[in-house]
Structure 1
Amino acid sequence: MDDNSLTYELTEGVAVITFNRPELLNALGHPHAKKFLELLDRAVDDGARALITTGVGRFYSSGGDLTTNLDLSDIGEPMERLWNPLSEKLMNLPIPVITAMNGPAVGVSVSLALLSDIVIAEPQGYFLLSFANLGLIPDGGATWLLAKSIGRQRAMNMIMLAERLPVQQAYEWGLVSSVVETGESLSVAREIARKLAKGPTLAYNLIRQSMLAALENGFSESLKIERVLQKQAGASHDCAEALAAFAEKRKPLFVGS
């Protein structure tokens, strides 16, 4: 694998992971999933306080690299070993995640894009789950993400008919946070990420946990989980700092703990 096919940078507390295979529309093979996992760990270890994923060129990503050899006797094995852990790690990352969707997201990259907290998309983009055309099912958690986000009927249409969902329609359905001018998704994402990086990142982590719990549990159980997480938030340095700043009529200085 070309070491530059996924790039990493950290500036002002914001980590950016970029799919850098424009000649292959940023298709991702199994080695890229492994590298992606390593870079997510690196971002956390480096003290990043927000993360952006984006692509180079016309596509965010065209999904799985079909030019590699696929073992059709058990195509689920690399899912269990690499892609599922990648989706789990993105979902449970302790910092905010933003997608700068510079172009279409196809296949597994639909999941990678939607696992973020905020999706900034450009008008030429679209979502496409073409698995059914290959006799396969979506992966990366796409069925869960779509069913929870847009409902069963819309999700089934999107998956079974394997038709493009333009970003404007995705915005109307609530899959995309905002649609910006062509070429501006990364700059807008950076602006948002820098704002989040200056915020109470421990609270953001707990908010991510609370949201996931709400999606997976009933109302009463969600209330119980909120109670536990709120205890952690209330005991944090950032909460004490925010209250002190309010009393002193100044802006709080959050440290993320």
Structure 2
Amino acid sequence: MLMPKKVFDKLQLADVQLSWRLIGDEVLKRFTGEYVTPVPSFQTSKCPCGPGYVILSKFRSFKRWLRKEPPRRVFTECLWDFQPLSNNNSEQMIPVTTVCDRPASTFRFVASRTRKNKTKTIKITFHGKKITELDLHKHKLQKRRVATLLFDDTGFDSFSLHMVNKVFSIDRGRIEVWLDNDVDFVDILDQSPVGFKMCHLWLDETNEGDRFIDGISNVKSKNFKAAWLNRENYKQILRNFIPNQRKYGGEAGDIN
């Protein structure tokens, strides 16, 4: 593939993270056959991505809105970690189903362009392909109670959430970025997510102050914008403000 001119111009250094931000959408479109939101980082501590994970969005300032800058967003924990403590939590976790698992498949992507005697190349290899999603046919989200009251004064929108409902993962992979002889690379290991799809959850509040899911809509990955925040910088808020954040161990709670 011929590297798009705008990618060539913005890629001034051999930088895997920047390259992924610039071309991840196109890579995943070819890998999955549909529009998928790329994971912002391959370090799970910065953005743990799995079916059920909730994304909080900061209120966008008027200045950011005027500049058409995307909202700042951060991965938190699973939806069932936001259940009020009085709920029967054994009934709150939504089963995850595997809809595709091809461990032997290999996907390769190369984008390159030469201009003014300068060559820039992005090489991506994915081994394996697995798609998991929440079973939302039997387990409905409507009217489910969600505890977000403590986020009211944090700058995050506590009535508008995004939730990951489908995740595309690989067994392992590698991304290389070459600018002439300068190279940067990352090895992706251990069944890592590379992209996801999500739905938008709108909350409402009863007269008693209990919050519940009042509206659900699918999000078009093609139009979704975000300036991703590092989840590690918000650990203290998450530990203190999410009721069941520690309850489920490694897959749905930061217990470190």
Provide TM-score, normalisation by structure 1: 0.21
The structure whose residues are more often strand, as a share, is: 2
- Say which structure, 1 or 2, has more relative contact order (CA 8 Å, 6+ apart): 2
Tell me the TM-score normalized by structure 2: 0.21
Structure with more of its chain in helix, by fraction? 1
